[in-house]
């Protein structure tokens, strides 16, 4: 039979004050002095990443190809070579109130399919006719790429995208105002 030994003067030490309390919403983290700033940063970053961004979406029938967030001033142009006159035509647009707004058309010579009436302003500058003030609203633009038209997009006067470089001639392209989160827009 075993004898039980008596332990005299045994005291349990309380170490509960040495640890930070565990909060109910973040059970995996012990809150330290800098934690509120980290939490605030994460909260602000999260809000920023899910914030809606409007811009120009360019897609095919199946998927979104490009997304250009709206910035002021915001203009883009669809440029193509006229099939009859073989000269460059530039249609300039902007996004306004969820629609695409045709602002002006620029071309080098008159031909079939080119505007013959003057809108708000019509002038010839450096050998090009500029028909400004058209202000035609379009919910979207549906366009098929051509073999000889060499369709391209000019964005912010310095980015030019040739659609035939990555699409088969005859492919459908849709231009429309799109809204997506900031995080989604980083991938286009």
Identify whether residues 138 and 155 lie together within a single domain. Answer: yes
- Under 8 Å CB-to-CB from 107, ≥6 apart: which residues? 82, 85, 87, 88, 89, 90, 114, 128, 129, 131
Q: Which pLDDT value is given to residue 95?
A: 93
In a domain, 11, yes or no: no
Shared domain check, 61 and 42: no
Q: How far apart are the first and last CA of the chain?
A: 80
Local confidence band at 162 (pLDDT 50, 70, 90 cut-offs):
very high
Looking at the fold, whether 113 and 63 belong to one and the same domain comes out as yes
**84 with 157, same domain?**
yes
Tell me, rounded to whole angstroms, the distance of Cα 166 from its chain centroid: 20
54, 184 contact by CB (below 8 A): no
Domain count, the chain: 2
pLDDT band at 7, cuts 50/70/90?
A: low
pLDDT of residue 33: 60
Average pLDDT value over all residues in the chain:
82
Residues 75 and 35 in one domain: no
Give pLDDT tens digits for 100-149.
Answer: 999 999 988 776 767 667 788 889 899 888 999 999 999 999 999 988 88
Is pLDDT at 188 greater than 80 in this prediction?
A: no
Tokens matching residue 49: 């990443």
Residues 134 and 160 in one domain: yes
Task: Give residue 172's domain range.
Answer: 53-185
Same domain, 174 and 97: yes
- Identify the pLDDT of residue 183: 87
The reply to whether 145 and 120 lie within a common domain is yes
Does 41 reside within a domain?
A: yes
Q: Which of 85, 60, 65 is nearest to 148 (CA)?
A: 85
CB burial class (10 A; 0-12, 13-18, 19+) of residue 155? Answer: middle
Tell which residue, 93, 110, 22, has the closest CA to residue 56.
93
Task: Tell me: do 26 and 115 sit in the same domain.
Answer: no
Q: Would 176 be classed as within a structural domain?
A: yes
Can you tell me the distance from the alpha carbon of 81 to that of 164, in angstroms, rounded to the nearest whole number?
13
To which H or E segment does residue 150 belong?
none
């Amino acid at each position: 039979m075993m004898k039980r030994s008596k332990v005299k003067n045994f005291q349990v030490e309380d170490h509960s004050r040495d640890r930070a309390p565990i909060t109910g919403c973040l059970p995996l983290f012990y809150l330290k002095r800098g934690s509120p700033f980290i939490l605030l940063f994460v909260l602000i970053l999260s809000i920023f990443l899910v914030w809606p961004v409007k811009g120009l979406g360019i897609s095919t029938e199946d998927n979104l190809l490009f997304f250009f967030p709206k910035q002021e001033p915001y203009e883009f142009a669809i440029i193509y070579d006229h099939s009859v006159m073989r000269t460059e035509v530039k249609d300039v647009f902007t996004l306004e109130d969820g629609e695409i707004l045709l602002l002006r058309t620029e071309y080098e010579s008159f031909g079939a399919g080119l505007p013959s009436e003057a809108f708000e302003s019509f002038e010839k500058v450096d050998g090009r006719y500029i028909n400004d003030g058209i202000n035609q609203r379009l919910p979207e633009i549906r366009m098929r790429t051509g073999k000889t038209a060499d369709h391209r997009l000019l964005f912010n006067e310095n980015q030019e995208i040739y659609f035939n470089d990555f699409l088969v001639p005859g492919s459908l392209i849709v231009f429309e105002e799109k809204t997506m989160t900031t995080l989604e827009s980083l991938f286009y």
